[in-house]
Chain A
Amino acid sequence: MKRARVAFAGAIHEAQPHERGLRLADGRICGEQDVVWLPPLELGTIFALGLNYAKHAAELKFSKQKEPLVFLKGPNGIVGHRGVMRRPDGVTNMHYECELAVVIGRNARSVRRAEALDYVAGYTIADDYTIRDYLENYYRPNLRVKNRDGGTVLGPWLVDAADIPDPGNLELHTYVNGRQTQSGNTRDMVTPVPALIEYLSGFMTLAPGDVILTGTPEGVVNVNAGDEVTCKIEGIGRLTNFIASDKDFNRT
């Protein structure tokens, strides 16, 4: 099953896909652009993986890692499908990152990888933006690069884990203004989903609503104000957002 959270007519609703857009829990049918899409769940801890696809790591000139590179994000960055991110004037490299997002469904502590997928509630898509101009080498990647308002687009749907039997073989694609710029497959992850859950739950407790953003494959390119960016993951959906300028945000 696929579920979204949307705002419509003054309230927040759960919704499911419908041939004319989506169907709210109370039965109303709405078009895709008639609602405000919210992140598909209320998030707990947000984990993000750096350099989790071998070719992307090579693209950024990194060699093999001893353990997964995981950092943490706050909820300020999370926006739903069709959300907007500000691109500060004067930056030279702000890029999307299409990522499989894994949503934890049960408390997990010291889980072994063979059982790890039993702890997954479902999957969604993340487009996790980076502004490389602001990269500094302290607790890298620093939050000014990776935790900006509107910089983590999530959704549109939370897809039940039962509908995705193998998260380790899903095609990912990104399109900028309709042109494909990124292509990959989750089978190329350096640390696949079950091993990530084993790793994290080995030293801390994971809880329902925690989300792991599992990293992005090669093919990240700079985007500009006015661009429309769409990330697609096989079986999960397509997630769009828009890039805006300082002027759009009344910051000039």
Chain B
Amino acid sequence: MFVVNDHRVSLATESLARDVDASGLRGMLRTQRGFRPPVSGTVYASLLNDRAAQQALEPEMRDAPYKAPPQAPILYVKPRNTLVGYGARVVVPDNAKGVRLGASLGIVIGRVTCCVKAADAMEHVAGFVGVADLSIPHASVYRLPIGDQARDGFCVIGPAVVARRHVANPDALALTMAIEGGASFSGSTSTAVRSAARLLQDVTEFMTLVPGDVLTMGVLHGSPVGHAGDRVTLSVGDWAPLRFELVAADAGAGS
């Protein structure tokens, strides 16, 4: 089971996650160091679930190699070596290319979810979490570019899972990905091709999600590219923001 009463947050030095209110969470973020991702399951990310991302690829979709626009949800796994929490220091493998800082919302599963209808989907959700889905920028989405997507630390999650009762409408949340002293990008889950509930319906038609799993609504098109030395903040609505740093390959990583 995966239950979130208020804000679920996980410290590296503690074996059990804490469940605190919003002000308690902000206090922890000020005074504590070393946060883990506040989730325990598999992280599935959605590709091309932002209308702007689909529109950008639209001119190519009928040509090789794509040949047709996508019909079903397109998913990819962010494996366990990528998962890090608030305050992570993420290594930039190639500073010339940088790292795409994908702003995304994670739907955190609370109950076994198989063949759910959109109308019932939210009853299976424990809460929501900010996900900075990182990748080395790549133009083609024909094959999964595993070396661009699955680097250590390339999925920053947190700081906390926010209980579903605090989220009136997951399909109208503002997301901002800001680089300190640099680019800032803002968007909203309202531009999703599939809403949170519809995504759960279409995904669980062919695969079962279990408590603690995360399904993201996909990276917002236009998310910025960061480089070593950047301090990055992902804000979701008025939630306590997710902060992390990008570091050079020889600087050493940690969280």
Contacts and interface: CB of A to CB of B under 8 A. Distances in A.
Interface of A: 44-45, 67, 69-77, 134, 136-140, 142-144, 147-149, 200, 203-207, 251
Given A70-B144, A76-B208, A137-B66, A207 B72 contact: no
B129 interface: no
Contacts of A74: 42, 44, 77, 207
Interface string B85-110: 00000000100000000000000000
Given A72-B150, A203-B151, A204-B151, A137 B44 contact: no
A137 B142 contact: yes
A143 B75 CA distance: 6
A136 B77 CA distance: 17
B74 interface: yes
A136 B144 contact: no
Contact of B206 (A44, A67, A72, A148): A148
24 contacts: A45-B80, A71-B144, A72-B144, A72-B146, A72-B150, A74-B207, A76-B42, A77-B207, A134-B72, A137-B68, A138-B47, A138-B74, A138-B141, A139-B74, A139-B142, A139-B144, A142-B75, A147-B206, A148-B206, A148-B207, A149-B114, A149-B206, A203-B150, A206-B81
Contacts of B29: none
Q: Is the interface of B mostly helix, strand, loop or mixed?
A: loop
A227 B71 CA distance: 30
Residue of A67, A72, A139, A147 with most partner-chain B CB within 10 A: A139
A90 to B, nearest CB: 14
B115 A139 contact: no
Contacts of A148: 206-207
Interface residues of B, number: 37
Contacts of A45: 77, 79-81
Most buried by A among B44, B70, B79: B79
Contacts of B114: 149
A84 B71 CA distance: 27
Contacts of B206: 143-144, 147-149
Nearest to A88: B206
B65 interface: yes
Contacts of B74: 136, 138-139, 142-143
Please list the 6 inter-chain residue pairs (A to B) with the smallest Cβ-Cβ separation, ordered nearest first.
A72-B77, A45-B79, A143-B75, A138-B74, A139-B144, A203-B147
A144 B204 CA distance: 10
Nearest to B146: A70
A44 B80 CA distance: 7
B30 interface: no
A228 B230 CA distance: 55
B48 interface: yes
Given A76-B207, A149-B114, A204-B152, A140 B80 contact: no
A69 B79 contact: no
B183 to A, nearest CB: 26
A251 B77 contact: no
B209 interface: yes
Given A76-B207, A144-B206, A204-B79, 7 more contacts: A45-B79, A77-B207, A139-B141, A149-B208, A203-B147, A204-B147, A205-B81
Interface in B27-56: 42, 44, 47-48
A197 to B, nearest CB: 14
Contacts of B70: 136, 138
A88 to B, nearest CB: 9
Contact of A138 (B81, B142, B208): B142
Contacts of B67: 137
A76 B81 CA distance: 19
A76 B209 CA distance: 7
Contacts of A77: 207
A138 B147 contact: no
Given A149-B114, A149-B208, A75 B144 contact: no
B254 to A, nearest CB: 14
Contacts of B147: 67, 203-204
Nearest to A148: B206
Nearest to B42: A74
Contacts of A70: 144, 146
A166 B38 CA distance: 41
A132 to B, nearest CB: 14
B172 to A, nearest CB: 27
Nearest to B71: A136
Nearest to B209: A76
Nearest to B75: A143
Given A74-B42, A75-B42, A140 B207 contact: no
Contacts of A69: 143
